[in-house]
Amino acid sequence: MQLYNPPSKENWTGRKSKDQLYLHEKIECKSISAFVASSKSFAILGYSCDQGVHRNKGRVGAKEGPKVIRQALAKMPNHLAIETKLFDVGDLYCIDDQLEVAQSQLSKTVNQLLDKNVLPILIGGGHDIAYGHFNGIKQHLLNQNKRPNIGIINFDAHFDLREDSSGANSGTPFFQIANENDPFHYLCLGIRKDANDKILFETAQELDVTYVDRNTFRIQFAKEINTWIRAFMEKVDYLYVTIDLDGFSSAFAPGVSAPSPMGFSPDIVLESLETIIASGKLISIDIAEMNPKYDIDNHTAKLAASLIHKVLHSEFA
């Protein structure tokens, strides 16, 4: 496979036990073509690409994100059932400025993973991961003769609805998706006025985007937020969730491409994930913008790993 690095067990180390007490002991490193899933399976796929961030004039370094997220997740405890399978299927990467090629390959790979009846967990990498990821989900559903009525839930400070006339980047994925899909179901949680210009707000209005701003996206409003999430989920058959780590306050996530102290906190994201997962509509999820070059004491990597840990253990709780 082009633009593909197979998984390495070197990324999965930690305390040793006799009973698979830790995720590094549970994980199976398999190439995408080699693994066989059970009825309860997860597949971790890296998107080692920050060319979209570079094009968007952001801080590069996110292409190294998948490695450090794995290393943080490896040391976490394993509470999965024995029959539940957890696979690391390696990384896709980008050569030079060939972002569109990497996104196309990502789409094909997500399609392959979903065909194997797993829940893909993608780790990046710039938020341009979203365009390839969504298209892989869409293609899988079309191949299954199912209506691709997909809702996107984005935990983010940014709409990422920039127009793409000069090419795709980490700020354009949902604009691209909107232009290619009607209807377009998009919910943004954590939007900040100090992180989006007025044209982006106008674009969001034109595209009928639903969003909750940062001032409201707080744990004290969890009941209201969950009501809005449930109302959004009723309109769709499948949910694609994307978590941009730069939406969190830099107190929790300093290692990102666009940090800010004004972001949201993990508690409301975890609460929201519970509601989303309980719907039974989650088909795939990714975590974007992990930039280890700027991380402090692995805080951001550990946050990303904890979010994945939550998804792994909520799905089959």
As a three-state string, the secondary structure of 272-302 is HHHHHHHCCCEEEEEEECECHHHCCCCHHHH
All residue ranges of the chain with pLDDT < 50 are: 1, 316-317
Tokens of 120: 């893909």
Q: Which of 160, 244, 245 is nearest to 200 (CA)?
A: 160
| 213 annotated as belonging to a binding site for a ligand | no
Say what the pLDDT of residue 168 is.
96
Say what the pLDDT of residue 38 is.
80
Say what the pLDDT of residue 145 is.
95
Taking each helix axis from N to C terminus, what angle separates 173-180 and 129-143, rounded to the nearest 10 degrees?
A: 30
Domain CATH for 308: 3.40.800.10
Say what the pLDDT of residue 315 is.
55
Say what the pLDDT of residue 85 is.
95
Number of domains making up the chain? 1
Q: Spell out the alpha helix ranges (H) of 144-197.
A: 173-180
Range of the domain at 182: 4-315
| 160 annotated as belonging to a binding site for a ligand | yes
What are the φ/ψ torsions at residue 262 (nearest 5 degrees)?
-90, 10
| 295 annotated as belonging to a binding site for a ligand | no
